[in-house]
A and B are shown apart, each in its own frame.
Chain A
């Protein structure tokens, strides 16, 4: 009991971090599932949201709202751009796509950080989000609790769209068998483009929401891409449910793991990923 009590704050922090990663990585896993495109510019879409937050957040709720709208919209446009640019490379395999999206990530990252001045940028959230509240004898940062609520709501809404709507069924069908989707009269490339736009929007939204966790800066795109890739690999390519579990696990390793085993935490993530890959190579993977 004492151990749980002592580590409750980092554990809650880990849930917040994990859900943020899930919102950021959901689009990456679905884009891979529907289009077989591994989008290495995905972290850059997150930073588009982060830089929007830095530019538009002025400590007021209005500024935050503006940043949420602008960051989401700009990252959605980024997703559309990626869809248009990767479309001609579909038949060329993963290496060509990885090179293109990686190149776009480098260019986009450079443009963003040179426009913003290079260093890590502060983001001024409304004062109410910067404080902490006393719950069950512990002080929790308000931002993390709000992040958990918003990200959980987003995850729930996303799950509803995916499981209860025709568009969601189309996405799941495309993950399963894009050829058969085309035989039903729907161009799977359009489904894939839609997923890239929606996934980009989610990554941008995460970039604004998560600015106090992984803020805008020259290294943030790489951090988000790397963690998202870990989430996608651990959760199973194309699997949203798996990504959710994996994201929370990664969040806990990054927060609770650092508190409990500071020496091991940096290796734990990649050990888990290697373990998942070895395991998956023996059992056929489940998807979406």
Chain B
């Protein structure tokens, strides 16, 4: 489904990613772990087209995406739920949904505003609220709804549980797991090993822009020591809720 090969990228001459290889089968969830600055966001942004790759390739269902502008990549079926949510502060929930709703010709378009609101009923109660007035959890739901309405085949989730109460964070992760079970391919950037291991089929540790360890979810749930070694046993990584 998603094939990332030798992907390199950076900002203004500085290289952040040094040749990343990842393969995500359809309907799977792959978590990328790593410290701040390891390149998780840059990886997701490069797949989404917000950062131009300096080398390597990104292929989604046989179609090359690298080098294309972000709106073309979105049209090809890539949805981004960015770090910090980035909902439009001065647009209402209903306006977000109307604006994000794409009905591409000749493609399946299962997501409608109604379908998204059934999945995320809390947004339904907030339809006339401005994005900037929502709670963190509601903004996260809105960012997810906005991405789904683009009818993605690949969902990029950048730290979706950041700053959320544990119960809401669990809800968001369980929801993404359900989406993956329904056939959506998910690339998740997460700072915490434990939460990511609970939902992902495969986990990869990124260190300074290189993949340094990778493990199946099932194995990581019983013995995550290879991943922990790559993360250098940073204690605060496990202590953060």
Residues of A within 8 A of B (CB): 166, 169-170, 172-173, 176-177, 179-180, 182-188, 287-288
Contact with A along B136-150 (1 / 0, CB 8 A): 000000000011001
The 10 closest A-B pairs by CB, nearest first: A185-B74, A182-B70, A169-B95, A187-B71, A182-B71, A176-B88, A173-B88, A185-B75, A183-B80, A180-B86
A-B contact count (CB 8 A): 60
CB distance from A195 to the nearest CB of B (A): 16
Asked if B89 is at the interface of the complex by the 8 Å CB criterion, the answer is yes
**A166 and B98 in contact (CB under 8 A), knowing A180-B82, A182-B71, A183-B80?**
yes
Output the nearest chain A residue to B48 by Cβ-Cβ distance.
A183
Contact with A along B52-88 (1 / 0, CB 8 A): 0000000000000000011100110001101000101
A170 proximity list for chain B (CB < 8 A): 99
Asked if B169 is at the interface of the complex by the 8 Å CB criterion, the answer is no
CB distance from A35 to the nearest CB of B (A): 15
Output the nearest chain B residue to A176 by Cβ-Cβ distance.
B88
CB distance from B10 to the nearest CB of A (A): 16
Q: Is the CB of B146 within 8 A of A184?
A: yes
Residues of B within 8 A of A (CB): 48-50, 69-71, 74-75, 79-80, 82, 86, 88-91, 95, 98-100, 102, 146-147, 150
Task: Give the residue of A166, A177, A185, A288 whose beta carbon is less than 8 angstroms from that of B102.
Answer: A185
Q: Is the CB of B50 within 8 A of A176?
A: no
A182 proximity list for chain B (CB < 8 A): 49-50, 69-71, 74
A179 proximity list for chain B (CB < 8 A): 50, 70, 86
* A and B contact pairs by CB, cutoff 8 A, 12 listed: A173-B95, A173-B99, A177-B86, A177-B88, A182-B50, A182-B70, A182-B71, A183-B79, A183-B150, A184-B99, A187-B71, A288-B90
CB distance from B189 to the nearest CB of A (A): 15
Q: Is the CB of B75 within 8 A of A176?
A: no
Task: Give the residue of B75, B82, B98, B102 whose beta carbon is less than 8 angstroms from that of A169.
Answer: B98
A177 proximity list for chain B (CB < 8 A): 86, 88
A186 to B149, CA, bound (A): 13
Q: Is the CB of B88 within 8 A of A186?
A: no
Given A166-B98, A177-B88, A183-B50, 16 more pairs with CB closer than 8 A: A166-B99, A169-B91, A172-B90, A173-B91, A173-B95, A176-B91, A177-B86, A180-B86, A180-B88, A182-B50, A182-B69, A182-B71, A182-B74, A183-B70, A184-B71, A184-B100
A166 to B150, CA, bound (A): 16
Task: Give the residue of A166, A176, A188 whose beta carbon is less than 8 angstroms from that of B89.
Answer: A176
Q: Is the CB of B50 within 8 A of A169?
A: no
B89 proximity list for chain A (CB < 8 A): 176
B75 proximity list for chain A (CB < 8 A): 185
Q: Is the CB of A184 within 8 A of B98?
A: no
In the complex, which of the residues A169, A177, A184, A187 has the most CB atoms of chain B within 10 Å of its own CB atom? A184
A288 to B91, CA, bound (A): 10
B82 proximity list for chain A (CB < 8 A): 180, 183
A177 to B146, CA, bound (A): 14
A186 proximity list for chain B (CB < 8 A): 71
Q: Is the CB of B74 within 8 A of A183?
A: yes
In the complex, which of the residues B100, B102, B150 has the most CB atoms of chain A within 10 Å of its own CB atom? B100
B74 proximity list for chain A (CB < 8 A): 182-185
A180 to B82, CA, bound (A): 9
CB distance from B213 to the nearest CB of A (A): 30
A180 to B90, CA, bound (A): 14
A286 to B95, CA, bound (A): 19
Task: Give the residue of A166, A187, A287 whose beta carbon is less than 8 angstroms from that of B69.
Answer: A187
A287 proximity list for chain B (CB < 8 A): 90
A166 to B96, CA, bound (A): 10
